[in-house]
Amino acid sequence: MAEKKMEADHRLKGLLLLYGPKLLKLAVPAAVIALVFWEGKKELAGIDMAVAIHLVNRMHVWQLAALAFLGLAAVLMMSGYDLLFAREQAARGQPLPAGRVLRISWIANTFNNVMGFAGFTGAGLRLVLYKRAGASMQEVARYLVFLSFAMITGLSAMCWLFLAGVLPGAYLFADYGWLRLAVWGMALYLPVYLALLRFPRAFRRWVKPEHFPGMRLGLMAAGASAMEWLSAAGMLVASASAAGVHIPPAHLLGMFAIAAAAGIFSMAPGGFGAMDMVLLLAMSGYGVNPDKAMAALILFRMFYYLLPWTLGLFLAALEWMPKREKLAEAGSELWEKSMSGWQRFWSWPGQNRLLGDMGIWALSALVLLSGSVLLLSAATPEIIGRMRSLHQFITPLTMKLSHQITVVVGFILIMLSRGIHLKLRRAYRLTVFLLGLGAFFSILKGLDFEEAILLSSVAVLLYISRGRFYRSHAAVQGRTLAFWFAVTLLVGACYYLVGDWSRPIPYHWLSPKHGHEILVLRERELIRSGIVGLAASWLFFSVWFWLRPKGPALGGPGEEELERLRLLLERFPGTPLTHLVYLRDKSFFWGAQGEVLFYYARSRSTLVVLGDPVGNPGKFREALREFRDFADAWVLTPIFYQISDRYMPLYHQAGFRFFKLGEEGFADVRTFQLTGKSKADLRTVRNRFEREGCTFDMVEVPLSDGVMEELRVVSDSWLGNRAEKGFSLGWFDEDYIRRSSVAVVRSAEGKVMAFATFMPCYDRGVTASIDLMRFASDAGKGAMDYMFLRLFDWAREAGFQRFNLGMAPLASVGDEPYSLREERVANLVYLHANYLYKFKGLRRFKEKFDPVWETRYLAYPQGAPLVKVMLHAAMLVNRKIRVKK
């Protein structure tokens, strides 16, 4: 019982080590946001979303234009950080163009506003963009790490003004005392920052002193931060005023300081959720109508976050045009190395993956945004003045039909955004067509020229970027389609909710005194348009899915390819795993004009290559690049399973990282002896089997049917109820077994007690190896030891130099204090999961034969999730094999 508890504790420790930081990054924001929403449930219950939406919708165009201008100006104020950096670069004789600096600043700041935490996403983008602009990567990295500390000093200063009573709003503490902790926590950051500037070496345990260039630059960066947070607060004041919220600006600044501090401590990107809820609580406490407070927040998020980010997406897509691609991956690597441990922990999201191809990411986000805008426009009320003008030219039926078409197009665009992200040529062509269609029918359904301009701009941008869409197909699985069906179902529910909120409007909101009237959908029209949109998009993508290419052609090699392999092996050596291709469960990829062979199988979205490639070593680099291109064309992840360290530099140059799988043992049969105390057990085993009259024989090919039947009986006895494993191991397949000799141990009566299939290593007779090694249930203890001893004798007499004892999985993995986190988890499995697999026992068994251990690795592309690719490899190795009887 105690042993099981200990094993459970170690499993829990391993899971926490591997997933703990990721779970914490999700759990903390969820907990904080849940707390805030629990505190404000009364205020939420009092909000009529229909009124809030109509307050926004009835605003004059000039009001919206003014808010858009103020929002863009507020975001532009965040360029102070980048202007400081440009000033420092100019002082070093490395000036940067002002326009380029402002463009970089806009992209980094808008992405950071929506997706970042504490400036890390923005800093990572700046590093890559400034590198593309020609700045020194070391200087950029040094400045940006320092900048990540300076970016919230302005908010910290605002919190001090609040605590000092300059900014009112302390009444919130009476009902929500926990907000005091957030404000004080943020306020205390400023003195810590100043201490970092003055005494950086005192904090060397957490940060690198060289990242802090001096007090003068530090104070200037803090000033830029103050400008950023004051401009954001000013945007809130403008949004509140436009929504009819009449609160003195000083009070709104105080509310903003409290809400922003709560948003930072919630650790949610952009402070979404917590910041908004605290602002609602603050405004309601001041006596503001909750509907108007919600309208103010909608305007604030729309014009300070979403509109600038949309422009940032356009700029990012233009910045990452195919002809301008350079060194983005190298920049993200340097940023990762430059960050301290706590900064890497709070990087949100996994920005290195995001930076890998920001341009295509931005394009897919714009397509997703375009579909969402179409649905939002279709769900919310139309302006009657525009409808009356349009009615002079087209019929109401045309308007209704146009409305329905925009809904269908919106749903399809949301699903097509995945195809844009996968760089599919067919998705690009269809998306451009649908964007044009959506723009046209947006005009016909209600003169919605704002949406038409957005969709047309995205279509033009896609056309300019058409060189990115080079893939003709992608190996998309059925569950991926099911996931996107679920996404559209969720979007459909949101479409109905927004439309439903927009319908039950009190009569006074429909009064023309505000300059225009609005037209709302009836419930049955809303439901019908949503169902038709969902059904049409699902039908379209179901047909698209079933007509797609299923993936690269898979299947075992034919006799012609096996003959090509035989000729290749006459010129170049193979590997200890090469003979497994005769199981015919692996596909062949010939690279470098047929000079190099990869044998692989597919597991979900992963192509798993078994061992090192075979062929001309001088062509391996070229062949690796070709195989990566082959996998990329199908949007599949290539990995190499059980590779040696011989070609690791080539894998590294091809963009692969490594995980140690274990060690493979090789015993020197020329020097192996049974003398000495340590070999007493082996001598006893050998003597006992020989005394009992057991014999050893190497049965050469061709194997008779009688021998095959004897081997099958032993194999079935050994397997019992277990299933055969595959891919990196052989199974009982007659065609495979008949290709090579079989070692057999017989009893005195001539019955087969154990057998082992010989597996050629194709290394010019240097290494002997076996694959299947099985013994009958009545073979007796030590049958495997006896088999190995006799095989050593046979290999020595046959002229082999060493004998391959096979893998010891997870041996010596993660046993160093500086090992990778995933390898330390694997070490826990090795030490404490013996009930799953006899890891330590297998290692001890092979140690008896004095092997030399060679390390074997898993090579996987940089950016690919290690846990995912290892799971796919394990599924391939452990899949159930149907053995022909």
Lowest mean pLDDT among 326-330, 352-356, 732-736, 848-852: 326-330
Lowest mean pLDDT among 330-339, 360-369, 629-638, 834-843: 330-339
* Cis peptide bond N-terminal to 200, omega within 30: no
Second CATH level (architecture) for the domain 559-655: 3-Layer(aba) Sandwich (3.40)
Instruction: Please tell me which of 275-279, 411-415, 431-435, 528-532 the model is most confident about, judged by mean pLDDT.
Output: 431-435
- Whether the pLDDT of residue 745 is over 80: the answer is yes
Q: How confident is the model at residue 390, as a pLDDT?
A: 58
CA–CA separation, 411 vs 532, rounded Å?
Answer: 10
Per-residue pLDDT of 155-164, as tens digits, reads 899 999 888 8
Give ranges for CATH 3.40.630.30 in the chain. 674-800
- Provide the percentage of residues in the chain whose pLDDT is more than 70: 74
871: confidence class by pLDDT, cuts 50, 70, 90: confident
Q: How confident is the model at residue 7, as a pLDDT?
A: 45
- Whether the pLDDT of residue 511 is over 60: the answer is no
Tokens for 116, please give them. 């970042």
Tokens for 381, please give them. 């009320």
CA–CA separation, 118 vs 122, rounded Å?
Answer: 9
Q: How confident is the model at residue 1, as a pLDDT?
A: 45
Q: How confident is the model at residue 108, as a pLDDT?
A: 86
CA–CA separation, 226 vs 150, rounded Å?
Answer: 10
Amino acid at 221: A
| Residue at token pair 């179902």 | 489
Q: How confident is the model at residue 723, as a pLDDT?
A: 78
Q: How confident is the model at residue 387, as a pLDDT?
A: 54
Q: How confident is the model at residue 15, as a pLDDT?
A: 45
CA–CA separation, 262 vs 682, rounded Å?
Answer: 69
Average pLDDT over residues 459-477: 81
Q: How confident is the model at residue 620, as a pLDDT?
A: 94
Domain 674-800 has CATH 3.40.630.30: yes
CA distances in angstroms from 70 to 64, 77, 292, 304, 759, listed in the order given: 10, 11, 20, 8, 74
Q: How confident is the model at residue 441, as a pLDDT?
A: 81
Q: How confident is the model at residue 884, as a pLDDT?
A: 58
* DSSP-assigned letter for residue 305: I
| Residue at token pair 């969402």 | 372
Lowest mean pLDDT among 369-383, 605-619, 693-707: 369-383
619: confidence class by pLDDT, cuts 50, 70, 90: very high
Q: For residue 159, which phi and psi values (nearest 5 degrees)? A: -65, -35
Q: How confident is the model at residue 826, as a pLDDT?
A: 59
For the chain, give percent helix, strand, coil, nearest 5.
65, 10, 25
- Report whether 303 contacts 71 (CB < 8 A): yes
Average pLDDT over residues 94-101: 85
- Report whether 633 contacts 471 (CB < 8 A): yes
Average pLDDT over residues 726-737: 88
CA–CA separation, 585 vs 803, rounded Å?
Answer: 26
- Whether the pLDDT of residue 625 is over 90: the answer is yes
- Provide the percentage of residues in the chain whose pLDDT is more than 90: 20
Average pLDDT over residues 813-823: 63
Q: How confident is the model at residue 521, as a pLDDT?
A: 53
Q: How confident is the model at residue 124, as a pLDDT?
A: 73
208: left (phi over 0), alpha (psi -120 to 50) or beta: beta
Q: How confident is the model at residue 509, as a pLDDT?
A: 35
Lowest mean pLDDT among 11-25, 538-552, 606-620: 11-25
- Report whether 313 contacts 109 (CB < 8 A): no
* DSSP-assigned letter for residue 674: -
Average pLDDT over residues 830-858: 72
- Whether the pLDDT of residue 388 is over 70: the answer is no
| Residue at token pair 């993956």 | 353
CA–CA separation, 755 vs 770, rounded Å?
Answer: 10
Torsion of CA 104, 110, 116, 117, to 10 degrees: 100
557: left (phi over 0), alpha (psi -120 to 50) or beta: beta
- Give the chain's mean pLDDT: 78
587: β partners: 600
- Whether the pLDDT of residue 514 is over 60: the answer is no
Average pLDDT over residues 499-507: 53
Q: How confident is the model at residue 834, as a pLDDT?
A: 43
- Whether the pLDDT of residue 169 is over 80: the answer is no
Q: How many CB atoms lie within 10 A of CB 287?
A: 8
Per-residue pLDDT of 655-665, as tens digits, reads 898 888 888 99
506: confidence class by pLDDT, cuts 50, 70, 90: very low
* DSSP-assigned letter for residue 724: B
Average pLDDT over residues 113-126: 69
697: β partners: 744
